[in-house]
Structures are given as structure tokens and as C-alpha cells.
Copies of this chain bind each other. A is one copy, B any other.
Amino acid sequence: MSTLANKIERYIKEMMAAAEKNCLELKRKDLAEVFSCVPSQINYVLETRFRDEQGYHVVSRRGAGGYFQIIRLEVADNKEMKNLIAAVSETEMDFKKAEGFLGRLLEEAVINRNEYMLIMSMINRESLSSAAETEDRVRAAMMKNVLITLLRADY
């Protein structure tokens, strides 16, 4: 039913939740073996589901004894808050990036599912199609205002 990539994503997130750590170290080859797939499939999952704007940072080492680490970035962290603000202050934001960013806010419970759906419906490509070549600029402005609103003391 679900794709292999989805299964690997779920597996990694469950591992992290179970370990109650925000850092998980794995071997690419082993993980690929668990799912009987080519190792580069793991890279695909990391690139599409564990990007910085999605709230995860990945580091790795090659060579014998190589591995990769997935580090969950917590919004509560002061430094992360700055990163977030920097991210939304960018003047352009494509849909993929905004989606990752909102997914993260949802995972961190900064927004609830309904708010996630609402915001997504407003920033999707269809909503902004009339904006033509300014689509990503409009989306960036919207995302910035979303964050400002969420941070308002009286929200």
C-alpha cells in the first residue's frame, strides 16, 4: 500500500520516538538490508523527508565504520527559533520547502492539524497560481506572517 520510502520514514521516526533521543545513528547499508533495497534508497528518504526545514539534520561519515546520524531539531531551542525566523524571512519559498516547514510545526505541535490544513490550502500552488512568477515571493510573505501571528503573545 504505502511506498517503501514511507515505510523507511516511519521506521526511522519510530526508532527515534522509542529511543526518546533526538539523535539516532544508523548504518546505511544495514538499513538498506532491513528493507531489502539499494542503499541509495536511504538517501532518497533522507533527502525527501529529513531536511533541515522539516526539522531534522543529517550528518554522515564515509569509509570503513561509516554511518549517518539523524538529529531532530527542537523548536523550543532558542537557536532553532532563530533559524526558523531566518528561514521565513527569506524572500522566496517554494511549495516543497513551505510544506516541510509546516510539517515540522505540526510535528512539534506548534500548530494543530486543522491549522496545518488551512495554511496548506492557502499556500499551495493552486491558490497562488494567479501570482505567476511571483508565487514564491507571495508564499514567503505569507509564511512570515503566519509565524509572526503564531508568536503573538495573544494567539
Contact = CB atoms under 8 A, between A and B. Distances in A.
Contacts of A60: none
Contacts of A131: 128, 130-131, 134, 138
A117 interface: yes
A153 B97 CA distance: 28
Interface residues of A, number: 34
Contacts of A149: 117-118, 121
A66 B132 CA distance: 27
A36 interface: no
Contacts of A37: none
Interface stretch (A11-19, A74-82, A139-147): A139-147
